[in-house]
């Protein structure tokens, strides 16, 4: 099995045309595109899509999935319908760009077993005072309600994915094996994978290789990111190879599991993102040279 390396063109800090050219010079197999800032799903024309595919294919690459970023959690009821509409449009666009993966941000998975947060008691005098700054008693939807809504949304989206030939890749803010398996068991309308991000594992205090071994059957798209842990027990993303992800252990683990999806090298911060991405690709190829593409 060969690991298929890709890069996210938006991390190269240039135009899409130049970014595709840079990716080709890195000798990777694919480029991941952004369906909002680079190839707007609601505005992309047949002509622009053909030009992108031609540019990618001329450099012997493929489109390695799309990212559809959103500002809120997938199940946040604010702007919910517009959010779901752009995701559906992005799933349709993925098929036109000859790829099957659409990466979307979920946020945390609500724990339906958790008890709702108790509301602070409101003083009777405060209730009668029109100038009172008392906190409202409405604590918002319960975790069980949020979980139910998330499942409803994902069943709707995966049903659409079945129709257009796109598999949803769910990007999480933490890896809870219990919650992930509970969520996947509740989403039955179509296929869906969990995005595996070693940097997220590091920043939330878990071991990336252990997470992959325990969940590999549920994991799909792999983000090539690195991170370090700080003294205050927080985490920070760094360039791939500069963090504490043990790639010499993780990459063989992907191979042992016969992972055949994309490994997309990313750099979401820093002053030299394009250089960091190039160094990250080179670092991975140094570890397993014969399986880098």
Lowest-confidence range among 95-109, 120-134, 267-281?
A: 120-134
Is there a contact between 200 and 207 (Cβ–Cβ < 8 Å)?
Answer: no
* Residues 35-58 pLDDT 10s: 999 999 999 999 999 999 999 999
pTM here is: 0.88
What is the distance between the alpha carbons of residues 245 and 58, in angstroms, rounded to a whole number?
Answer: 34
Lowest-confidence range among 14-18, 153-157, 287-291?
A: 287-291
Q: Is 75 helix (H, G, I), strand (E, B) or coil?
A: coil
* Residues 234-274 pLDDT 10s: 799 999 999 999 999 999 999 999 999 999 999 999 999 99
Q: What percent of the chain has pLDDT over 90?
A: 84
List all residues 6 or more positions away from 64 whose beta carbon is below 8 Å from its beta carbon.
4, 6, 29, 30, 31, 32, 99, 101, 262, 264
Tokens of 272: 């030299």
Is there a contact between 164 and 92 (Cβ–Cβ < 8 Å)?
Answer: yes
User: Tell me, what DSSP letter sits at residue 66?
Assistant: E
Residue 17 scores a pLDDT above 90: yes
What is the distance between the alpha carbons of residues 17 and 287, in angstroms, rounded to a whole number?
Answer: 30
List all residues 6 or more positions away from 21 whose beta carbon is below 8 Å from its beta carbon.
55, 59
Say which CATH topology domain 4-113+141-291 has.
TIM Barrel (3.20.20)
Domain ranges of the chain: 4-113+141-291
Residue 136 scores a pLDDT above 50: no
Q: Give how far the C-alpha of residue 118 lies from the chain's centroid of Cα atoms, to the nearest Å.
A: 32
List all residues 6 or more positions away from 109 whose beta carbon is below 8 Å from its beta carbon.
147, 150, 172, 176, 179, 180, 182, 183
């Amino acid at each position: 099995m060969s690991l298929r390396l890709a890069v996210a063109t938006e991390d190269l800090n240039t135009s899409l045309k130049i970014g595709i050219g840079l990716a080709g010079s890195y000798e990777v197999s694919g480029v991941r595109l952004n369906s909002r800032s680079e190839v707007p799903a609601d505005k992309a024309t047949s002509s622009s899509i053909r030009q992108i595919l031609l540019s990618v294919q001329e450099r012997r690459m493929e489109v390695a999935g799309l990212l559809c970023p959103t500002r809120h959690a997938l199940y946040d009821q604010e702007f919910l319908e517009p959010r779901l509409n752009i995701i559906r449009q992005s799933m349709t666009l993925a098929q036109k760009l000859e790829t099957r993966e659409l990466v979307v941000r979920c946020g945390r998975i609500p724990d339906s077993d958790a008890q709702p947060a108790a509301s602070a008691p409101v003083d009777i005098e405060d209730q009668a005072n029109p100038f009172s700054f008392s906190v409202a008693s409405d604590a918002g939807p319960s975790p069980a309600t949020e979980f139910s809504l998330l499942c409803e949304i994902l069943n709707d989206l995966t049903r659409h994915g079945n129709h257009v030939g796109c598999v949803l890749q769910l990007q999480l803010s933490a890896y809870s094996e219990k919650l992930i398996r509970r969520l996947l068991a509740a989403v039955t309308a179509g296929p869906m994978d969990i995005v595996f991000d070693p940097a997220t594992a590091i920043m939330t205090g878990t071991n990336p290789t252990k997470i992959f071994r325990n969940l590999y059957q549920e994991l799909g798209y792999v983000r090539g990111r690195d991170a370090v842990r700080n003294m205050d027990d927080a985490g920070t993303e760094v360039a791939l190879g500069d963090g504490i992800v043990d790639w010499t252990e993780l990459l063989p683990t992907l191979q042992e599991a016969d992972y055949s999806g994309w490994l997309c090298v990313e750099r979401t911060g820093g002053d030299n993102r394009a250089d960091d991405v190039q160094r990250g690709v080179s670092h991975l190829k140094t570890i397993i040279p014969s399986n880098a593409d």
